[in-house]
Structure 1
């Protein structure tokens, strides 16, 4: 993340999300720790050593920023309604007749996870290691509009999609596109 983006993110998390500095840590340090862990797949132990903090403080910091970001989701993410054909499709005659009702792209992917040995079989599908499936939907501007993480790799794609459209925070699919 660039320094400019970081300097814009911290005040947003503080003013809009309610993230507050603690007695021994600023909002900027909270966000930096969160980005180090999430962006680099680092463990609490290593990041705690880097920032000279107890592991419990690092974990709490990560979770405070994580919950703040989740609380801002409804303010910054809007699912497309599907009533307008995206210009990326309208302007290309080669794809318009085939994708005229398409409002976004959906894809599933596998993410490697670590689970206790006794549960590893549930998370192992056609991969040789445990994974979870992630359903991701993005607009033509390559902005995520919906992400759903399944519990285990053995879940079928249709089961994950059914879960996505039946949840309280469901994936919205306009009726014209069914």
Structure 2
């Protein structure tokens, strides 16, 4: 190759190098010097929140899953109890709005960032802070109220289906499985009878459809009995044990022991199983009434799940945060129940009282474990006495 050919190759290499360097400089300039802003909408988060809160009541309820006055009261109570959230640029109300929008709509951090015109980092930081505040509030309201276990529950007192037969019942206990987002290499302990990763949450509720105890974070493969006994045996779990003579109603997956009244095993145990065929014997009469009374916890779960859509899919959140989300949404559930008047979800559930939607009932199709704890014989006597009382009332009606 002559000298002219070498010169042409070197010139070509030089030009390509110049072009490549120019592209690198352009890329650096556009991304780090002259960046195109992402959040340029005039509908800022604060402006949108104010429009919602000053607009139609239905708009606020659909956005934040609660009425306006409840929203304002929640923000005020959290600020008084646990300090101010947000900053000079992001108000306390906007931070709570971001959290409630995320929990109620079931959307991810990026969607919240777009809606409120903040960076994902800002949204994630405030989401965590607000979640912690709600979990702290949960320590105050996810428990029985003072003297709640004294006397007869008002809901039982005014219902002749349960009074006087179940006058000593203080609530219901059950477990619920919430879909969990777990890395593939860690999923096996969380896969239970549903075949998907879940966290098993043990809950107690009263007859006003409020949660009075929650233990979240157990692996989906853990049996309800294991979770239950672990809670009872650990004083640090602070389970509200029934006073002498009182009891919770539980399903057949729980042990027969003092303070916890289950159904007769063998006969039909679920209220919806009696819709087409009346009870055939005294044990089924008891099981029908027992399941009807216990349906309060199924209806409570139904309200909770329908209101907070994030419970259906929590991908993108660490498992610790998923546990906090469960506790936070239950806290909100109780708060709304205490302070809202005519909340849509609760009203609809109360209209179906005693029946329960079949889509909300989790049938106990797993193998029942035979376990009898302390006081099993005493509970058997109580169950037999209630059965006799129900049969007497039934016979008097038929006379």
Shared fold by TM > 0.5?
A: yes
Structure holding more helix per residue? 2
Q: Does 1 or 2 have the higher relative contact order (CA < 8 Å, sep 6+)?
A: 2
The normalised TM-score by structure 2 is 0.42
Structure holding more strand per residue? 1
Q: In 2, distance between residues paired with 1:133 and 1:54?
A: 33
Shift of 1:71: 2.2
Cα deviation code 1:70-94 (max 9, x no counterpart): 2223444442552322122233343
Decide whether the 8 Å contact of 2:85 with 2:129 is kept in 1.
Answer: no
Partner of residue 170 from structure 2, selected from 103, 115, 121: 103
Stretch of structure 1 that moved more, 90-99 or 111-120: 90-99
* Secondary structure at the counterpart of residue 84 of structure 2: coil
* CA distance 1:5–1:56, shift in 2 (3 Å): same
2:128 matches 1:63: yes
Q: In 2, distance between residues paired with 1:133 and 1:69?
A: 21
Aligned residue in 1 for 2:157: 90
Shift of 1:31: 0.1
2:71 matches 1:6: yes
Gaps of at least 5 residues in structure 1 are none
* Secondary structure at the counterpart of residue 182 of structure 2: coil
* CA distance 1:75–1:114, shift in 2 (3 Å): closer
Cα deviation code 1:15-59 (max 9, x no counterpart): 222133313210011000110122222211221122121222111
Q: In 2, distance between residues paired with 1:144 and 1:131?
A: 20
Cα deviation code 1:99-156 (max 9, x no counterpart): 2221011121111111101112211111122111111221111111111113210111
Q: How does 1:1-178 map to 2 (within 5 A)?
A: 1-79=66-144, 82-165=149-232, 166-176=234-244, 177=246, 178=259
Stretch of structure 1 that moved more, 75-84 or 139-148: 75-84
Q: In 2, distance between residues paired with 1:78 and 1:124?
A: 29
Query: Which contiguous aligned blocks of 4+ residues in structure 1 show a shift greater than 4 angstroms?
Result: none
Q: In 2, distance between residues paired with 1:75 and 1:156?
A: 28
The normalised TM-score by structure 1 is 0.88
Decide whether the 8 Å contact of 1:107 with 1:137 is kept in 2.
Answer: yes
- Supply the RMSD in Å over aligned alpha carbons: 2.0
Q: In 2, distance between residues paired with 1:77 and 1:120?
A: 29
Decide whether the 8 Å contact of 1:17 with 1:69 is kept in 2.
Answer: no
Stretch of structure 1 that moved more, 103-112 or 80-89: 80-89
Gaps of at least 5 residues in structure 2 are 1-65, 247-258, 260-399
Larger Rg over CA atoms: 2
Q: In 2, distance between residues paired with 1:4 and 1:82?
A: 30
Q: In 2, distance between residues paired with 1:52 and 1:148?
A: 36
